[in-house]
Amino acid sequence: MIVVMKPGAAAEDIKHVVDLVHEFGLKDHVIYGTDRTVIACVGDKRTVEKDAIENAPMVEKVVPILAPYKMASLEVKREKTKICIGPERFPLGGVKIGVIAGPCAVESREQILTTARAIKAAGGVGLRGGAFKPRTSPYTYQGMGKAGLELLAEARAETGLAIVTEAVAVEQVEVCAEYADVIQIGARNMQHYPLLEAAGKAGKPVLLKRGMSATLEEFLLAAEYIINAGNPNVILCERGIRTFETYVRNTLPLAIIPALRERTHLPIVIDPSHGTGHAHMVPSMSLAAVATGADGVILECHPDPERATSDGAQSITPQTLNELMGRLKRVAEAVDREL
């Protein structure tokens, strides 16, 4: 349920309600809006004396949260969540469109630094790259591990780009949080609940990829796990789902953007690389994502895609990225956004 405070409620009024909520065995999340404060209370509501809270000083009303995902829902917070990422604190979820790009995997110092410089020069705000890779086959490249994280940190120091990298296992979350600006939770791990909770405690924004067979509701409930563990900074990433279709690696449902907008305040980023599997489809799907209202795109970009250790077929070159940026800017402006 949500306790809506009257405009002008003082800190002690809010504290009084929070104490009551704790007495009833619920967890509180206080959200300070532009004109009023709301206190979202989650837990077993059978234990609650709703009247006691409703009669507390400066409480306007107590309303139930109908959505199963509570903190992620628009019922709790109507304003879009803006998440500032990286050393330059780029505000993802605001008016500006954020372009994050980089190789599927960190492969070498030269590869990551060359790519990072090109992304920065093109106007990107984030550098992606896996140091720990969740590969379908155990015999394929598994990533550089901690050495890869060190290279990503070096690329950030030189370019100012925000580092986005995946933690595949609970025990990798801490080291990823130490080196990166955004922890990615991959599609295969969207319902790995201990990992979601660990990411929720890591103190860095989380980019949560939709599972390849997860429904929209399951996706938002996975985000809820991270928020409930204490981290409100969750970026939702659609990366395509598995269907019967074979001309693409995954089917990229851009209709999830308006569907999510009706349900959640969290920023939405689209990954057209995994969402199609083909580099030649990435520019047009990126433009479509921005036209449809995405807050950003995350693209695989490699200086030599033919020799990439993973996902080369869906990686665009820095030159293609550079050309795409100009077109993305025009589309962004057409939908009242900036790039």
Binding stretches for ligand PEP (CB under 6 A):
104, 130, 134, 186-188, 209, 239, 274
DSSP-assigned letter for residue 251: B
Separation CA 211–CA 186 (nearest Å): 8
Six-digit token pair at 310? 């993973």
State the CB neighbour count (10 A cutoff) for residue 44.
9
Angle at 315 between CA 310 and CA 321, to 5 degrees: 150
Residue nearest to Mn ion (CB): 104
Looking at the Cβ atoms of 39 and 187, the one nearer to ligand PEP is: 187
Query: How many residues contact Mn ion, by CB under 5 A?
Result: 2
Stretch that binds Mn ion, among 13-21, 72-80, 102-110, 229-237 (CB under 5 A): 102-110
Q: Do 316 and 283 form a contact (C-beta atoms < 8 A)?
A: yes
Beta carbon of residue 130, minimum distance to ligand PEP (angstroms, whole number): 5
Separation CA 332–CA 214 (nearest Å): 29
Q: Which does 337 bind (CB under 5 to 8 A by kind): Mn ion, ligand PEP, none?
A: none
Q: Determine which residue in the list 39, 59, 100, 104 makes contact with Mn ion, applying CB under 5 A.
A: 104
Q: Which does 187 bind (CB under 5 to 8 A by kind): Mn ion, ligand PEP, none?
A: ligand PEP
Angle at 241 between CA 240 and CA 243, to 5 degrees: 130
240 backbone dihedrals φ, ψ, rounded to 5°: 95, 150
Looking at the Cβ atoms of 202 and 308, the one nearer to Mn ion is: 308
Looking at the Cβ atoms of 73 and 189, the one nearer to ligand PEP is: 189
Looking at the Cβ atoms of 41 and 301, the one nearer to Mn ion is: 301
Separation CA 237–CA 219 (nearest Å): 10
For residue 117, count CB atoms less than 10 angstroms from its CB and return exposed for 0-12, middle for 13-18, buried for 19 or more: middle
Beta carbon of residue 204, minimum distance to ligand PEP (angstroms, whole number): 17
Looking at the Cβ atoms of 86 and 186, the one nearer to ligand PEP is: 186
Stretch that binds Mn ion, among 6-14, 75-83, 104-112, 259-267 (CB under 5 A): 104-112
Q: Which does 267 bind (CB under 5 to 8 A by kind): Mn ion, ligand PEP, none?
A: none
Looking at the Cβ atoms of 105 and 227, the one nearer to Mn ion is: 105
Looking at the Cβ atoms of 93 and 102, the one nearer to ligand PEP is: 102
Does the footprint of Mn ion cover residue 295 (CB under 5 A)?
Answer: no
Q: Which does 134 bind (CB under 5 to 8 A by kind): Mn ion, ligand PEP, none?
A: ligand PEP
Beta carbon of residue 128, minimum distance to Mn ion (angstroms, whole number): 9
Q: Determine which residue in the list 311, 318, 337, 339 makes contact with Mn ion, applying CB under 5 A.
A: 311
State the CB neighbour count (10 A cutoff) for residue 323.
14
Beta carbon of residue 336, minimum distance to ligand PEP (angstroms, whole number): 29
Cα–Cα distances in angstroms (integers) from residue 197 to residues 225, 275, 281, 325, in the given order: 6, 26, 35, 35
Say which residues have a Cβ less than 8 Å from residue 38's Cβ, sequence separation at least 6: 2, 3, 4, 5, 30, 31, 76, 77
Looking at the Cβ atoms of 38 and 102, the one nearer to ligand PEP is: 102
Q: Mind giving me the DSSP string for 77-137?
A: --SPP-EEETTTTEEETSSBPEEEEE-SB---HHHHHHHHHHHHHHT--EEE-BSS---SS
Beta carbon of residue 94, minimum distance to ligand PEP (angstroms, whole number): 24
Beta carbon of residue 274, minimum distance to Mn ion (angstroms, whole number): 6
- Which residue ranges make up the site for Mn ion (CB under 5 A)? 104, 311
